[in-house]
Amino acid sequence: MAATWLNDAVFYEIYPQSFFDTNGDGIGDIPGMTAKLDYVKSLGCNALWINPCFDSPFKDAGYDVRDYKKVAPRYGTNEDLVHFFEEAHKRGIRVLLDLVPCHTSEEHPWFRESSKEEPNEYSDRFIWTNSCWEHPEDIPFVGGEAPRDGCYILSFFKCQPALNFGFGTPKAPWQQQAGSAHTLETREAIWDVMRFWLEKGCDGFRVDMAGALVKNDTPDRAYTQEVYKDFRQRLDAQFPEAALVAEWNTPEQALNCGFDMDFYLSWAGNGYSHLMRNYPVIGQEGPEGGDSSYFKADTDADPLPFLAEYLPTYLKTRGKGLWCFITCNHDTVRPRFNLSPEELKLAYSLIFTMPGAPFLYYGDEIGMRYRKLPNKEGGFNRTGSRSPMQWTNGENLGFSQGKAEDLYLPVDPAPGAPTVEAQESDPDSLLNYTRRLIALRHSQPELQARSPFLPYFAEPGNRLLAYKRGTLLCAVNPGREALTLNLDGKYRLLFSQGDAALTDDTLTLRGFAVLAPL
Ligand code: NOJ
């Protein structure tokens, strides 16, 4: 059963270490997230995704979990998190935690036990070869580090040993069949983590590397899907309103096995990148040329490469779950890197009027910049999208009362760096525009998650894209020239940004407009 609240959900992603610091140690914390819930509500966001906030050595920003059931002390306590759920719920805001089922930290007690020479309860919780000389083919591994005589395989970085969900087609004796006894123990252990937080009041999970549970899986990841089908059955029985969003980027698979949502992520050359981030080289202040993103005002890109990818997948998966647009996330270069605030307004116009549940990454609502920053906690080039939230024009831009040198990452030093404070009072700010868009979405059921999408106008060489959401007609023209669209009936202007002139049978547009039938 799909969580009914998702239809009108608008998510806000919080990277906890960079959101708001209440104890002056320079790192964001859970009381800080609680303190900013009214701000989240003021945006119109009614759901949150919190990046991992669990005990961790932070070699991958918390995606290396040392204790799934304990809040990282730098963020607060389990009680703080439960209080946060309660305060969020009072405001009608749901909270998804980040579940990391593919790997733990190398410091997790399960892995420490698994590394021991003497066989024990956790020997098969991770994936080990039978000798340190036996090297897995085509799978990254570590050998010679543990007392145990074997190599263990990795899921992501060196600090993240892969949990044992088995193999679709085992090819060596040390590879266990997915679904066999020890792999089921791993499944139970992850379910136990899910139940632990759901019972404490969280509303579901964003699932990290969701499609990668079972190694050497079938092309449609049938064995991985089997695990989530099982989780979904248990959720339906015990937590029917819990929601799951996959980091999978293959909605045909993710939405088939019990996920409510999958992300439409930005991958080089894909349809979403064509819209937002179609540039070849990452420089410091912006792309070093060659940015042909559709939402760049001065390109001649048309929307067809986006539609060619989006539409078939949308049609295949509609009715099964939600394929969700993001403004960005903690792994992606912020869209302000290459798009101006005016260009962002049009990009967000599309994002907040498409099917699925939109995800707004903290700070994108004010157009925070991507900055070239030294690697922090395994962020590498992603670090530049993880800098502290810019609240006020005061010290540390309102993020922390700590010393500037103690901050998790330096705040944006640019004169006039965007802040919530500066944009609050400007009706034309990106912040207030984003609020208006989200309010529009809440006010129009036809703009929400499951209402039908149908392209209305897109042509080679033409900058205009128009699409129907139910009976509403949305149109965007990110170019500098106004363009005219023929209408299929009589409409009134419901919402617009830029120049929109409506006659009985045409719309002439530079910007964005939503029309409602008369
Ligand atoms: C995807 C997460 O979004 C990313 O930040 C992390 O490094 C990897 N998965 C590994 O967990």
Q: What is the CA radius of gyration of the chain?
A: 23
Q: Ligand 1 atom closest to Cα of 156?
A: 10
> pLDDT tens across 3-58, in order?
899 999 999 999 999 999 999 999 999 999 999 999 999 999 999 999 999 999 99
- Phi and psi at residue 80, in whole multiples of 5°? -60, -40
Of the residues 156, 380, 381, which should be mutated to test ligand 1's pocket, given the most ligand atoms within 8 Å of the CB?
A: 156
What local confidence, expressed as pLDDT, does residue 288 receive?
Answer: 73
So what's the pLDDT on residue 178? 98
Q: What is the DSSP letter of 26?
A: S
Average of pLDDT values for 469-488?
A: 98
CA of 41 to the centre of ligand 1 (A): 27
- Please give the number of the atom of ligand 1 that sits closest to the Cα of 63: 11
- Ramachandran assignment for 373, one of left (phi > 0), alpha (psi -120 to 50 degrees), beta (any other): beta
Cβ neighbour number for residue 425 with a 10 Å cutoff: 9
285: confidence class by pLDDT, cuts 50, 70, 90:
low
Per-residue pLDDT reduced to its tens digit, 425-436: 999 999 999 999
Q: What global pTM score does this model have?
A: 0.98
317 exposure class (CB count in 10 Å sphere: 0-12, 13-18, 19+): buried
Mean pLDDT of 479-494: 98
Q: What is the pLDDT of residue 281?
A: 66
Half-sphere exposure of 29 (CA within 13 A, CB side): 22
Q: In the predicted model, what is the mean pLDDT of residues 179-200?
A: 98
Distance between CA atoms of residues 113 and 185, nearest Å: 15
Mean pLDDT calculated for residue range 371-397: 97
Q: Is the minimum distance from the CB of 49 to ligand 1 under 6 angstroms?
A: no
Structure confidence by residue, pLDDT tens digits, 62-75: 999 999 999 999 99
pLDDT value, residue 12: 99
Q: pLDDT tens-digit profile of 320-361?
A: 999 999 999 999 999 999 999 999 999 999 999 999 999 999
pLDDT attached to residue 434: 99
Which residue, by CA, sits nearest to atom 4 of ligand 1?
331
Question: Per-residue pLDDT averaged across 380-407, rounded?
Answer: 97
Q: CA-CA distance, 224 to 63, in Å (whole number)?
A: 20
How many whole angstroms from 306 Cα to the centroid of ligand 1?
25
Taking residues 460-482, report their average pLDDT: 98
DSSP track, 299-338: ----SHHHHHHHHHHHHHHTTT-EEE-BS--TTS--GGGT
Predicted pLDDT of residue 283: 63
CA atoms within 13 A on the CB side of 56: 24
* Residue located via tokens 């609020």: 435
Q: Are strands 465-469 and 453-457 parallel, antiparallel or unpaired?
A: antiparallel
Residue 347 alpha carbon to ligand 1 centre in Å? 25
Question: Which tokens sit at 351?
Answer: 């994002």
Task: Provide CB contacts within 8 A for 498, sequence distance 6+.
Answer: 346, 477, 509, 510, 511, 512
Most informative mutation of 14, 331, 361 for ligand 1 (most atoms within 8 A of CB):
331
Q: What is the pLDDT of residue 337?
A: 95
The pLDDT of residue 393: 96
The conformation of residue 444, written as its DSSP 8-state character, comes to: -
Contact by Cβ (8 Å): 476, 464: yes
Give dist(CA 353, CA 248) in Å, integer. 22
Which tens digits make up the pLDDT trace of 242-275? 999 999 999 999 999 999 999 999 888 899 999 9
- Cα separation, 257 vs 435, in Å, equals 34
Q: Is the pLDDT of residue 1 over 70?
A: no
- CB atoms inside a 10 Å sphere around CB 470: 16
Choose which residue among 208, 326, 386 to substitute to test ligand 1 binding: the one with the highest number of ligand atoms within 8 A of its C-beta: 208
The percentage of the chain sitting over the pLDDT mark of 90, rounded to a whole number, equals 96
Q: Whose CA is nearest to atom 3 of ligand 1?
A: 331
Question: Whose C-alpha lies nearest to ligand 1, atom 11?
Answer: 63
Q: What is the mean pLDDT of the chain?
A: 97
For residue 289, the model assigns a pLDDT of 75
How far does the centroid of ligand 1 lie from the alpha carbon of residue 408, in Å? Answer: 19
Distance in angstroms (rounded) separating the CA atoms of residues 99 and 437? 30
Q: pLDDT category, 290, cuts 50, 70, 90?
A: confident
Q: Which of 157, 209, 262, 377 to mutate to test the pocket of ligand 1 (most atoms within 8 A of CB)?
A: 209
H helices of 159-221, in order, are 181-199
Question: Lowest mean pLDDT: which of 175-184, 221-230, 263-272?
Answer: 263-272
310 Cβ inside 6 Å of ligand 1: no
Ligand 1 neighbour 156 (Cβ under 6 A): yes
